[in-house]
Amino acid sequence: MKTTVSIIGLGLIGGSLGLALKRNPDVHLVGFDRSYATADEAFRRGIIDTIAPSAKSACEQADFVIFATPVNTTVAIFEEALEWTFKEHAIVTDTGSTKKPIMDAAVALQEKGITFIGGHPMAGSHKSGVSAAMEHLFENAYYILTPSKTTTEHQITLLETLLETTKAKLIVLQAEEHDRMTAIISHFPHLVASSLVGRLAAQEEQQPFVKRLAAGGFRDLTRIASADPVMWRDITIQNRDELLTQVDGWLDQMNTIRSMLVENNPDQIFDFFSQAKTYRDKLPSTYEGAVQGALYMTFDLHIDIPDHPGIISEITKILADADISLTNIRIVETRTDVYGILVISFQSAAERKRARQVLAQATDYSMHVL
């Protein structure tokens, strides 16, 4: 007998989950999206087996329900779902990047006897929508589960077993712990990146050329500021308390740095940079096979090449002949803090590693793969 899994929301995350779960032939996937065109594309691509006419219908027939919708949408649907009928042993989960608002909203469902386990697959893409869905999106990424106090070990195991086909690293945390950690290494860095871009924009009028100089390391440092502002508005509001804690700590640290600059002590300044370098160098590297963290990463390969006609097409042909897809390619002009004149981005660490091997084997005097 097949297990019925319903996915509410068929964008990048919901669609990719569908593809990953279909690796299990005993799973029947039902999908619903408020855009029928999206649901129809998911059906035509084989991401789902059945299109549900409504979220209510999708939930009522499922053994597992996955809400792959924005946090605010999920919370709103939970309020509607109080009037719906779920299967007796159904397990409901979600994919939201902040857990406490959803866990709070799920309390009323749990009081009705519905099992809810929060979820957050820490993976993403530079693309969005069901057309960007990929079966391997979650492979080797952390997938956090946040059970409630009433959740049993058996229920957690059932959900973990279902999600095994994603090939993600499943970790169980408390919702508060999840939100605190994602604030530190994901949500707060987005605030910092956006504020750095704001500093650049504020000074461009007096220094117009500064924008062109920012095309190097500054652009890479602030890449995450290009994320969807609607999504990050919601995340900032939802994780406000944890972010305030991080901002307060940041302000204290910046005051310490200001004092360091005022004192202008060479040893103190050296220690500041040295300690940061030492800690940074110990962080896991995706080159070393580390699991993807909370921030969506681009997997970049830097290549030193001479400036002569045909060199870029030569490199892309080598990759194409090896059936390796790239997501972006650009030439860096400001390279004081960037390695390599040509930067090629890939969808995964595995693709980058293979590209590096292929290009290194093909390398002659004309290029050097870093």
Q: What is the mean pLDDT of residues 221-247?
A: 91
Residue 159: the pLDDT is: 98
Residue 336: the pLDDT is: 47
pLDDT category at 126 given cuts 50, 70, 90 is low
Residue 103: the pLDDT is: 96
Residue 294: the pLDDT is: 54
Residue corresponding to tokens 């939201």: 96
- The answer to whether residue 132 scores a pLDDT higher than 90 is no
At the fourth CATH level, which superfamily is domain 298-369?
ACT domain (3.30.70.260)
CA distance linking residue 192 with residue 295, whole number of Å: 14
- The answer to whether residue 106 scores a pLDDT higher than 90 is yes
CA distance linking residue 354 with residue 68, whole number of Å: 31
Q: Which residues contact 310 (CB under 8 A, 6 or more apart)?
A: none
Residue 352: the pLDDT is: 84
pLDDT category at 335 given cuts 50, 70, 90 is very low
Residue 204: the pLDDT is: 85
Name the residue with higher pLDDT: 359 or 117: 117
CATH annotation of 178-287: 1.10.3660.10
* Domain assignments of the chain as residue spans, ordered by start: 3-173, 178-287, 298-369
Contact, 118 vs 106, CB < 8 A? Answer: yes
Average pLDDT, the chain: 88
Residue 29: the pLDDT is: 97
DSSP 87-103: -TT-EEEE--S--HHHH
pLDDT category at 24 given cuts 50, 70, 90 is very high
Residue 285: the pLDDT is: 60
- The answer to whether residue 350 scores a pLDDT higher than 90 is no
Task: Using CB atoms within 10 Å of the CB of residue 38, give its burial: 0 to 12 exposed, 13 to 18 middle, 19+ buried.
Answer: buried
Q: What is the mean pLDDT of residues 312-327?
A: 86
Say which range, 102-111, 144-153, 179-188, 325-334, has the weakest mean pLDDT.
325-334
- The answer to whether residue 360 scores a pLDDT higher than 50 is yes
- The answer to whether residue 104 scores a pLDDT higher than 80 is yes
Taking only the tens place, the pLDDT of each residue in 262-313 is 999 999 999 999 999 999 888 876 544 455 555 555 677 878 776 677 878 8
Q: What is the mean pLDDT of residues 115-133?
A: 87
Question: Helices then strands (H, E): number in the chain?
Answer: 15, 12
- Helix (H) / strand (E) containing 101: helix 100-111
pLDDT category at 119 given cuts 50, 70, 90 is very high
Tell me how long the chain is.
Answer: 370
Residue 12: the pLDDT is: 92
- Helix (H) / strand (E) containing 267: helix 266-281
Query: Of the candidates 219, 222, 225, which has an alpha carbon nearest to the alpha carbon of residue 332?
Result: 219
Helical axes 188-204 vs 229-238, angle rounded to 10° = 130
Domain made up of 3-173: CATH architecture = 3-Layer(aba) Sandwich (3.40)
pLDDT category at 365 given cuts 50, 70, 90 is very low
Q: In Å, what is the CA distance from 334 to each residue of 35, 90, 156, 315, 330?
A: 43, 55, 50, 21, 12
Residue 90, helix vs strand vs coil: coil
- Helix (H) / strand (E) containing 289: none
- The answer to whether residue 229 scores a pLDDT higher than 60 is yes
Q: Which residues contact 253 (CB under 8 A, 6 or more apart)?
A: none
Cross-strand bridge partners of residue 117: 93, 147
Taking only the tens place, the pLDDT of each residue in 57-80 is 999 999 999 999 999 999 999 999
